[in-house]
Each structure stands twice: as C-alpha cells, then as structure tokens.
Structure 1
Amino acid sequence: MKSAFAESRPFLLLSLLFGISYYFACVLNNPELPEPLIVAWKGAGVGFLAIYALIRLHRLDGKIVGAIMALGAIGDMALEYDLILGAGAFMAGHLLAIIFYSRFRRHKLGFSQKLFAIILVPLSVLIAWALPFDRSEALGISVYCLSVAAMAAMAWTSRFSRYQVGAGAIMFLISDLLIFARMGPLETSIIPEMLIWPLYYFGQFMIATGIVATLRHEMAADSADPVQA
C-alpha cells in the first residue's frame, strides 16, 4: 500500500503544480508562449489526476475514474480550438461519471439532501438557459448544463464524501455556470476570470482524491476481513 502511494504521489503533486501554476501564469496573465504549450499546460492539471487514479486503484474503478479525468483534460484542451469538441468531451465524461456514481448509491439519504439533489438539476438548467444574451445559444447551453448538473446531483447522493466528492462536483457545476454568465450578465465582470479555473480544477481534484480515498479504504477493510471457506 505504501509503495502504491509512493508511486502515485508524484502525479498528484504534478497535478497541483500544473493546475495552480496555469492559473497564475496563463489565466491571470498573458504569457508570450506558443499556443500548443499553453494548451498542454492547461490539460496537464487534470491529466495527471487521471494517471493518479489509475495507479492508486488497480481495478476497473480506477480505469473509470481515470477515464473521467482524462475526458476532462481532453475537454480542457479541445475548448481552446473547438467549443463543440470540448463540450462533447466534457459531456462524455459527465455521462460516464453518472453511470459510475449510480453504482455507489447512498443507502440512506436525508430528506433535505434528496430535495437538494432533485432541485439542483432543473434549477441549474433554468439558470443556464436564462444567462446568455444571445438566445440562440440558450438551448445548447441548457443541454450541456443538464449533463453537468445531473453529474453533480449523482455525486452528491453517492456514498462518497459530500464534503469532498459532492462539494467538488458542485464546484465544477458553478464554474460552468460562471462560463455561461460570462456570455451574459457577467460579460464585463472580472469575477468569472478569477473564479472559473480555481472552482473547476480544485473541484476535479476533490472528486478524484475523494473517490480514490473512499475506495482505497473499502479495499483495505475488505482485505482485513477473514477469508471464509
């Protein structure tokens, strides 16, 4: 177990290094670097989370979480060239995450938590639909928001930590709503520029590390159980 952690820790640290440095170097500043380098820098933060998940979870779940993170990294980079392609990669990741979370349902769910999850999806879609000034973009944005809001609701109601995986998914959703707000009422505001990347990246970081921590704990508990004939 210690060996696996030692092998995966550098990738977690690399994720933090690239994710945080991208914000200060490329979001808050305009570096004179080749565009492909900036795009690769952007994708590296979540890309290393994919490698981290694959190494820490030597089972199908690790491959699925790695694929979700990899699709996020592809979406990050593709958005710089083609909006539809980038959104498609993210939607594929959201749909895969929804299927994944459905396998880890929380057995007991409080009324307030269930109500929050139920309201979250239509409310998010309604907000997304109302945000863009160009009304021809409202339908496409709403369809995309449906996927990310459903992903967040499924994460919130899964048995993974709400304070880590659930909160991370909500942060991801808020970051996307801020992107849509930049197409509307916050078009000239500095708020989206300041908050979109931190909410998105640390949301992904919390999701990946929270899932891995929970499943590693369950694996350790299972291995400690006496073997029955």
Structure 2
Amino acid sequence: MRPTAGTSGSPRPFRLGLTGSVGMGKSTTAAMFAELGLPVWDADASVHRLYAKGGAAAAVLAPHFPGAVSDGSVSRETLKHLLAQDPARLAQLERLVHPLVAADRAAFLAGTGADILILDVPLLYEKGIDAECDAVLLVTAPADLQRARVLARPGMTEAQLALILSRQMPDAQKRSRADHIVETLSLASTRLYIEALIAHLRAKTGAEHA
C-alpha cells in the first residue's frame, strides 16, 4: 500500500477500492466513508449521471439503442428490457458506456485534494479497476443474510438474484484477493471497523512519507 507521487512530486491521495456483491452492504459502507469526510466516487451514480438528461451517454447510445434514448436521456428500464430480450447486447453496451465512466472516474481522481479517497465499484475486480487502487476493502456478509437482504427489495425475484450473481465474481474469490474485509453484521460494528481502517491507513501512509 504505497501512494504514488503525482506530477507535482507530492504523494497523490491513497485510493481505496470498495467492492462487494449485491446485498452485502456496500452502499451503506460507502455512505459511512462519506459521513466521515472521505470523497467517494460511486460507479452506479456515475452511470446515472451519464444517462440523465444532458449526460454524455445519450448521444453515444442513440445510434445503437435508439429505443432507449428519448429527450436527451437514457431509460434504464428500456435498456434492461432490451438486454433481457438479447443478453448478448450487454457486451456492446459496456463497450460504449465504460469509456464514459472511466473518464468520469479520472475527473474525480484529478479533482480531489483529500489524503484518502474511495472508489465504490460493484464490479471492481471483474472490470480490473482494482489495478487503479492502492488497496481494496471487500464488504461481505453470510450468504443467507445476503439473500434475505436482496429478496426483501421491491420487485426482486430469485431469478433476478441468480442473474445478478452470475455476473459477479464469487464472494470467496473476492475474499482471497482483498486487502481488507468487513462483515456487515451490524451498523455499529461496521462503523467501528471503518473508523479504525481510516486511522490505520492514515498512520501507514503518513509513516511512509515521514
């Protein structure tokens, strides 16, 4: 875990990747980092911005997914329906959208002066974004708790959960690769872990540059 010097010669912010499979509590954990004053880049929020009216995705997707673009914005529901009809088009969608997301992430990285920042990415390992991070925190939970959390969401079905999980690296494999792991069994224990991790990272990076 060693931050790289920026073009000015001073250490760049420490990049902590935050990831976890669906229902593990990643969004709640990301919110805790934000509450504690750390800048958080949220991959899902980035896509929402790109799809919103005035976002860059509409012009890029219109020639390829014209039915999903209207009045300068992209309908996620329409895209979801189109992909359900032809799952093979997911790769095409990703080829078009991922460069836009990468540009948004690069702008975030260039625009913060914090000592530690968080890259909140559900598919961090799957898309190789862990290579951009100095360390990775995996958010996890027992499988039965994960399943209960996800199926409690409005409109969620067993089939949808199975599809989501099929696109994500197994939790056990993520555990073997992560630098830090937190089990989100309660809000209080997770908050204590996050506070301790921030203190640990600040102490470590501070010592490296003392």
Common topology (TM > 0.5): no
Choose between structure 1 and 2: higher helix proportion: 1
Q: Which has the higher strand share?
A: 2
Highest relative contact order (Cα 8 Å, sep 6+), 1 or 2? Answer: 2
